[in-house]
Structure formats: structure tokens, C-alpha cells
Amino acid sequence: MSTLDITAPAFAPRVPATRLRLTARGRRVLAALAALPAVLALAFAIVSGGGALASGEGGAPAGAFTQVTVLPGDTLWSIAQDAAPSADPRDVVDEIIRLNALSSGALVAGQTISLPVDIASR
């Protein structure tokens, strides 16, 4: 007579992990995909507004601005309303932030900021 012993194996065979191998063409494709957002942002900046800024369109000479010293209690909103009462203060505040390269809307008394000359004509 024969006996049959049915038992599960003590361990599962391990499948070796494969390494990702990039060819030269694969590296070029990944580099192009990584650079794509920067290229698109640059193209959008050129198409959307860079041309008008470079041509100096608008009534004022290119780069014309006035200097204002911030007084205690002044905010960007109050300065924008004083500079261009007939314009939307949100647009004027945005222009002031871009012109002065401000990282936030916080101002310090005694700070000198620049205002575009053409905002008073709005």
C-alpha cells in the first residue's frame, strides 16, 4: 500500500524584482516631459502680455512711475483708492504688487513703493 501525504509548501517561491532600465531615447522623452510646463508657461507669458509691455502701449511712457512713502495705517487698498478713485481697487492693488514685486500685501510705515503713472488716468 502507498500513502499519499498532501501538505502545502513551506515557502512561496520569490519572483525576482525587475529593475527599470531607461534607454537614451527614454531619458530624452522624460526630460522633454519635465521641461514642458516651463516652456508652456514662457509661451503663455509672451503671448498674453509680454508684447504689450515691450511695445510701451498705453498713454504713459514705458517704465513711468511715481514713488509713494507708506504712512502708518496705510494699506495697499487705501493707496490704490487714493491713486485711482475711478478704477477698481483690486486691479490697482494687483498692479502695485507686480510693479514692486511684493511677496505679500503687508506694508511697513516708511516703506517706499512705486505706483504706475497711468493708473491715475483711469
Cα–Cα distance list, 108 to 50, 73, 74, 122 (Å): 31, 9, 9, 27
Q: Which residue has the higher pLDDT, 91 or 6?
A: 91
pLDDT tens-digit series, residues 47-72: 776 554 445 454 545 567 888 899 99
pLDDT tens-digit series, residues 11-33: 666 767 777 788 999 989 999 99
Mean pLDDT of 32-50: 83
pLDDT tens-digit series, residues 76-101: 999 989 988 888 889 888 888 988 88
Count of structural domains within the chain: 2
Mean pLDDT of 101-114: 87
Q: Is residue 81 part of a domain?
A: yes
Q: Is residue 4 part of a domain?
A: no
Instruction: Supply the DSSP string of the chain, one letter for each residue.
Output: ---------SSPPPPPPPPP---HHHHHHHHHHHHHHHHHHHHHHIIIIIHHHHHT-SSSPTT-EEEEEPPTT--HHHHHHHH-TTS-HHHHHHHHHHHHT-SSS---TT-EEEEEGGGGG-
The pLDDT score that the predictor gives to residue 61 is 54
Specify whether 45 is located in the same domain as 87: no
Taking the CB of residue 92, how many other CB atoms lie within 10 A of it?
24
Q: Is residue 83 part of a domain?
A: yes
Specify whether 84 is located in the same domain as 119: yes
Task: Tell me which residue range forms the domain holding 106.
Answer: 61-122
The pLDDT score that the predictor gives to residue 105 is 82
The pLDDT score that the predictor gives to residue 53 is 47
Q: Is residue 15 part of a domain?
A: no
The pLDDT score that the predictor gives to residue 63 is 63
